[in-house]
Structure 1
Amino acid sequence: MEKSTVHLTETLSPELRDRILARLEEERTEPAYRLLTPSALRQLGTIHSTGDPIVSLYLELTPERRLKDAWHVAFKDLVRAKLDTIEDRRLRDHVAGELERIEMALKEGLPAMGRGVAFFVCESLGLWRQIALPIPLPDRLELASTPYTRPLVRTRDEHDRFAVALLSREHSRFFISQIGYVEEVLTLTGPKLRGLVTDWIDWNQRDDIELQLLHQEGKALATIAALVFQQFEARYLLFSAPEKLKPSFLEHLPKAIREQVGGEFEVDVHAPVHQVAEAIEPVQRAVEAREEVRTLERIQESLPERGVWGAEHVIDAINQRRVMTVAVDDAFQVAGGYCAHCDLLVLDASKPCPACGNPVEAESDIIDRALEMALAQDATIELVRSEAARTLMAQHAPMGALLRF
């Protein structure tokens, strides 16, 4: 993927700001493997086909799957199993064609990073989305009038979206990231300030001029970091900057973003993306653990009026549209049922819906649907993955929630 490059020769003008925003928007919409942003997920939720079905494919890309194209065997098995269930010949031929397009894209290149991939495809709608996933999701192939996005709730951790700024006085790079996946979205090049001040500035004025230039460049880079942060709906900002540039950069960050600085890291400014990912991962893990523990502590402190522990209590609160934050061990699963008529979850699928009395649809695991319903209520999700938070959660239950009322 070709990233955007901008030559920075002055502080950020309105024209340059608009140009950067336009390029960032292009980065969000171009048909390549992309990190899923909340806005992109919301957009998928608005798509509906009244004709040909939308093909939704999830495929794990663990290190084992990448060896000797092992992913291709799994893909072929998925395709064969799905096509065998389609009796209508025209529909089967159409779906086979869509899957051939996906297969060609996978053969042309897997995402360089990440643990999985998702495709959402419908040629008649002009729909083509290739999404790199930071975590492995179970292989799945669905045909429906809307994109099948429920598994993506596992990528919606409240504290797992980072904007990353790798700064220098001659060359600066900006990334978006979830733990395990990093995507470069913007590169900035500028004048070599050291050469400028030594070539034509009086030695007696050198320090003052250099400070002024550092101030201007720090302000411009802070503005651009804020644009990236906001455009990709990040939760935290990580940065690396020379000591002389750091004060001005931090000073000019908007206050709300400055409060979300998650930490610093060190890596060569020209390092390949995978080295940037390695450099920032310890900082990301520390942020994740800190915020997970903080959420669990808030639940415990809010008992019993505004906090609950246990799947039964959390499911009940989701049914009542009361949840504000749901925290769940990412490995936790529980069987149950769902009533589509009442949009209610139950833990005992052998009993009728408590609201309408109709039979419920049994599901082997209702956690993803519960998280999907919570997100639809504008709740936030905390997927607990750190050892520190799991140890704390083991004292209570694998699922808890903060309540609105």
Structure 2
Amino acid sequence: MADHHVQQALAELCELRSDGEPIVSLYLDTRWPDEKQRERSRVFLQESLRRTVDRHAAHPQLEALRRTLGRVAAAAGERVGQPGGADRGLAIFACEALGLWSVHAVPRPFVDELCTDARPHLLQLARLADDVEPGILVFVHDRGARLYEVALGAIVNEATVERPVPGRHGQGGRIRGGASPSPRGASGGAFYERERKNQRHVEELADRARREAVELLRQLWERDPRANLVLVGTSEKVAAFERALPARMQEKVLARLPRPPGKESWRGDGKAALLGQVVEKIVGHERGQEAAQVEHAIGEALRGGLAVLGPEDVVAAVNQRRVHRLIVEEDFERSGWRCRNCEALGTTHDEVCSFCQGPLALVEALSEELVGRVLAEDGEVEVVAHTNRLHAYHGVAALLRQGRANGLSGREPPAPPGGPP
């Protein structure tokens, strides 16, 4: 599953809500190194399904929910019974009343979770999309380069630019197989002149192959400029390749890795090992960005700028549709309420809506409601690991959009009494 497929799934799922039959969200870790782990997945499914049915025993849509759960169980059970493959995580979102059936197999593991709610639970899927940014692995050599597009930690596309370039060895760059006459011989001067010409010819061919590889990389990268670049090869070849990149692409070079030993280092286990290093670099880069985002949000809020901290202020900003980027800890747990009339959110458990006095519905997972609403308003979601800095503000913050706040209905709030018409 490619990164843009996950983004598309998030865009579609965040718009869904069902106040009748609950929406089922299943996340499953499908890494099974042995049968014990596979059996643990079976037990998790059975126990979670049983508890879900028991919890909704009095629900008016119980029979529809049973059918949905049965379909989810069948799909997940089929996956559990299959031999291990490249996909390490499974996510299923289903609701018979909405006609919803959305299945996503991804190359990154999830934390096992089965839940039912009025909206799909998207925190883990959003974390996946945010955690492993797209990247391009570039294996640089004399004859050009091999390019591997990486999405969600897996190679999704390969491209190669290779041109015939005469081999070189030894000092002076002699063409492989050439003779080495004595410099005192009659033809010594002419020979070394030919050597210099041959060397220039080889360098021109290598430079042409490099330019073609850079052009192909530029075309691939411009399809998604978020992609980080990781260059692999000898320090000399990598440096020459990087100098040929446009400045805006040089800024996206995340790492430079030495070429692994062996002629087939880009195949089989060698390629898998390289991919592991690339994913490690990308995830490490993302962790650094997460810490920077947290510090930026805290600093901006404390200066009175376009940021807010803590559940109450973040919920108020979400109600006003002002959130540009939601920053939430992966273990954030808080409940709240949702008005059935005006759709406002709140964090205090009142009897009626504090905005319109309408009836309230319990929101058990406030984090999921916030994630869904921010995504539905074309905002961004940054799911971060537990940190003391953000946890001091109860695990949630938001960067705000420029401009005036909108009302709950999306209309501009009325002007205060006595203000300009």
* TM-score, length-scaled by structure 2: 0.68
Query: For the structure 1 residues 72 and 277, does the alpha-carbon distance in structure 2 shift closer, same or farther, using more than 3 Å as the test?
Result: farther
Q: Deviations over 1:140-188 (max 9, x none)?
A: 26699x976565233343x64130314133662413244xx33342142
Counterpart in the other structure of 2:383: 383
1:118/1:133 contact within 8 Å kept: no
**Cα distance in 2 between the residues matched to 1:332 and 1:152:** 15
Counterpart in the other structure of 2:42: 72
2:128 to 147, 155, 161: 155
Query: For the structure 1 residues 296 and 82, does the alpha-carbon distance in structure 2 shift closer, same or farther, using more than 3 Å as the test?
Result: closer
Q: Deviations over 1:105-134 (max 9, x none)?
A: 4433444364x32145899x9977432163
1:289 aligned partner, one-letter code:
R
2:267 aligned partner, one-letter code:
H
SS in 1 for 2:324: strand
Gap regions ≥5 residues in structure 2: 169-173, 179-193, 403-421
Q: Deviations over 1:240-262 (max 9, x none)?
A: 23334324533454544432222
1:98/1:122 contact within 8 Å kept: no
**Cα distance in 2 between the residues matched to 1:41 and 1:80:** 28
How do residues 2-401 of structure 1 correspond to structure 2 at under 5 angstroms? Answer: 28=2, 37-42=6-11, 57-61=26-30, 67-69=36-38, 70-78=40-48, 96=70, 99-112=73-86, 114=88, 116-119=89-92, 129-132=103-106, 134-140=108-114, 149=122, 151-157=124-130, 160-169=132-141, 172-178=146-152, 181-188=153-160, 190-191=162-163, 193-195=165-167, 198=175, 203-231=195-223, 234-266=226-258, 267=260, 268-270=265-267, 272=269, 274-302=272-300, 303-385=303-385, 390-394=387-391, 397-401=394-398
Q: Deviations over 1:50-81 (max 9, x none)?
A: xxx99754213466897441323323445566
User: CA offset at residue 37 of structure 1?
Assistant: 3.7
Deviates most, 190-199 or 296-305: 190-199
User: CA offset at residue 287 of structure 1?
Assistant: 1.4
2:68/2:94 contact within 8 Å kept: no
User: CA offset at residue 35 of structure 1?
Assistant: 8.4
User: CA offset at residue 327 of structure 1?
Assistant: 1.9
SS in 1 for 2:338: strand
Deviates most, 194-203 or 65-74: 194-203
Query: For the structure 1 residues 323 and 264, does the alpha-carbon distance in structure 2 shift closer, same or farther, using more than 3 Å as the test?
Result: same
**Cα distance in 2 between the residues matched to 1:254 and 1:39:** 30
Query: For the structure 1 residues 79 and 307, does the alpha-carbon distance in structure 2 shift closer, same or farther, using more than 3 Å as the test?
Result: closer
* TM-score, length-scaled by structure 1: 0.70
2:122/2:371 contact within 8 Å kept: no
2:91 aligned partner, one-letter code:
A
Number of residue pairs matched by the alignment = 363
2:293 aligned partner, one-letter code:
T
User: CA offset at residue 347 of structure 1?
Assistant: 0.9
SS in 1 for 2:157: strand
Q: What is the identity percentage for the equivalent residue pairs of Structure 1 and Structure 2?
A: 18
**Cα distance in 1 between the residues matched to 2:82 and 2:205:** 45
Query: For the structure 1 residues 175 and 368, does the alpha-carbon distance in structure 2 shift closer, same or farther, using more than 3 Å as the test?
Result: same
**Cα distance in 2 between the residues matched to 1:44 and 1:231:** 24
Counterpart in the other structure of 2:414: none
Q: Which of 1 and 2 has greater Rg?
A: 2
Q: CA RMSD in A?
A: 4.4
1:188 aligned partner, one-letter code:
T
**Cα distance in 1 between the residues matched to 2:314 and 2:23:** 32
Gap regions ≥5 residues in structure 1: 1-26, 29-33
User: CA offset at residue 308 of structure 1?
Assistant: 2.0
**Cα distance in 2 between the residues matched to 1:242 and 1:399:** 44
